Amino acid sequence: MEQLEEELTCPICCGLFEDPRVLLCSHSFCRKCLEALLESPRGLSFSRSPFRCPTCRKESPHNGANSLQVNYSLRGIVEKYARLKVAPKTGVCAHHTGQPLNMFCATDLRPICEGVPML
């Protein structure tokens, strides 16, 4: 999972991509990260001409970060990963092969599976 998260991380802010935009060189960055780069004092020259990709230094023309193509595939993967990451983890029953522990026994105060017979 760590390697997957690394692939879904913006190289500028080091967080999961938010509204990822793709440059002509195919590298992606968060829209806000690109906006910050373009608005920085160093970026003033970028606002009038193509800027260089922070990863490979290839020139990429633009009319602001909003004009860059949204990386829909990457955005979808990041959204699914984020949901998976916060989803509660369920265990597997040791007595009933493959059954998830998806119920809680109030008497025994422990998780149980549906394979447990009701008394």
All structural domains of the chain = 2-87 (3.30.40.10), 89-119 (no CATH)
Question: pTM score, two decimals?
Answer: 0.66
pLDDT grade for 43, boundaries at 50, 70 and 90: very low
The DSSP code for 90 is -
Which phi-psi region, left, alpha or beta, contains residue 52 (left: φ > 0; alpha: ψ -120 to 50)?
A: beta
Residue 119 has pLDDT above 70, yes or no: no
- What was the pLDDT predicted at 45? 46
How open is the CA angle 68-69-71, to the nearest 5 degrees? Answer: 130
